[in-house]
Amino acid sequence: MKIVAIIGARPQFIKHFPFELACRGKVELMTIHTGQHYDTNMSDVFFNQLKMTQPSYTLHIGSGAHGAQTGKMMIEIEKIVNDITPDGVVVYGDTNSTLAGALVASKLHIPLFHIEAGLRSFNKKMPEEVNRILTDHISDLLFVPSAIGVQNLKNEGVELGVSEVGDIMKDLVQYVIANDLLKSHRPNENDFFYTTIHRPYNTDGKERLKYILEALNQLRKKVVFSLHPRTRNLAHNYDLNLEDYTNIKFIEPQSYFSNLAYLQCSAGLITDSGGMQKEAYWLKKKCVTIRKETEWKETLNNSANILLFDDLSGLGKELQNVPVGWDKTLYGHGKSASEMVDKIIHFLK
Ligand code: UD1
């Protein structure tokens, strides 16, 4: 049995690692890296640090307008898939690489397995929302992290092949904590908030990005901001001088372990990332999400995660308000990858 996984963007390398481990000795796994993320600290660092198998194919598609980027990926993925004739294709999450892989598999009538299915923000202006809806509707097996995701799919008439298996990122976080792997990655900082901001609605406009930076700059604690290249490039294009924000320490995108170590040592997280809202929850860190909505609605329970968007004046106050209870079972028990692999094998038999 041979399956091929499509990866391309930073969060997909992380999700792929537990899946690769779970496939060992059970199923032959090949990978196609689209090259959507290509900087060393957005891609190679994850393969090296997690000691993952290098991709079987790397496409070097790089950045571009959505249509061009997705189209170029499809052209190249199709050639490879035709060549290697896998029994199934695995895609992760909601990026343009996800959609490109899903469309190719579906058109070639190859079984398609979607990891992290069923999530919805109900905001179709997000490219991710379009990518995940389309991918879900053409997938044969849909691996969903939570009951809300299962219900979302049901509401859209998708029930066949759906299973709630928990979140694959939790597998990895639990493994890291159980083996104390963050110890040597702890930062030399204390008493700080950790930040990542990269979504288009927070960065694709000078006034918006400036407003967020000003809000961070006014917080009572220092802010450590891990800067996605998209945010860095846009700040540069807008002539925003990052050195003017003296309360913010800007750092390069971090490796998997360093990023989690920063989060673990922080006094709270300010983010617009999807994955980091969950990681904050599992590490019991207060999170403020700079968005109008979240796909990870369960993290809002007990105010562990708070949404703020138009008015950021309450940011400092919200960060202080740390919840007392955390649901240990949120998004599964950290064994989702092996459950998915077993279900895939059963499906293909
Ligand atoms: C993509 C995903 C998003 C995910 C994010 C994780 C889509 C539509 N979006 O967003 O869901 O949360 O990855 O990081 O697929 N760039 C570099 N070097 C890189 C990668 C990107 O400089 O290695 C810069 C380029 O200027 C590029 C911009 O970042 O144009 C945006 O990259 P892109 O992959 O298009 O989208 P992300 O914002 O990273």
- DSSP secondary-structure letter at 297? G
pLDDT attached to residue 154: 98
> What pLDDT score does 56 carry?
98
Instruction: Supply the pLDDT for residue 141.
Output: 99
- Flag whether pLDDT at 90 surpasses 90: yes
Catalytic residue among 33, 198, 236, 333: 198
Nearest CA-CA partner of 6 in 44, 40, 57: 57
Residue 324's pLDDT is: 85
Give the percent of the chain with pLDDT over 70: 100
Determine the average pLDDT of the residues in 157-175: 98
pTM of the model: 0.97
Q: What is the pLDDT of residue 312?
A: 98
Is the predicted pLDDT of residue 267 greater than 90, yes or no? yes
Mean pLDDT within 193-218: 98
Pocket test for ligand 1, best of 6, 33, 37, 66 (most atoms within 8 A of CB): 37
Please, what is the end-to-end C-alpha distance for the chain in angstroms? 9
Using 50, 70 and 90 to split pLDDT, how confident is the model at 66?
Answer: very high
Q: In angstroms, rounded to a whole number, what is the distance separating the alpha carbons of residues 168 and 330?
A: 12
Question: Quick check: is 109 catalytic?
Answer: no
pLDDT at 35: 98
Q: How far is the CA of 228 from the centre of ligand 1 (A)?
A: 8
Residue of 230, 259, 273, 291 to mutate, ligand 1, most atoms within 8 A of C-beta? 230
Mean pLDDT along residues 55-63: 98
- Which residue is associated with the tokens 């929302």? 129
CB 193 within 8 A of CB 223: yes
Question: Quick one: pLDDT at residue 114?
Answer: 99
Question: In whole numbers, what is the pLDDT of the chain averaged over residues?
Answer: 97
Strand ranges across the sheet with 2-7: 57-58, 28-33, 2-7, 88-92, 112-115, 141-144, 162-164
Positions of E strands within the chain: 2-7, 28-33, 57-58, 88-92, 112-115, 141-144, 162-164, 192-196, 222-226, 248-251, 269-271, 287-289, 305-307
Cβ–Cβ under 8 Å, residues 134 and 99:
yes
The CB of 64 under 6 Å from ligand 1? The reply is no
Whether the pLDDT of residue 320 is over 90: the answer is yes
**Cβ burial, residue 92 (10 Å; 0-12/13-18/19+):** buried
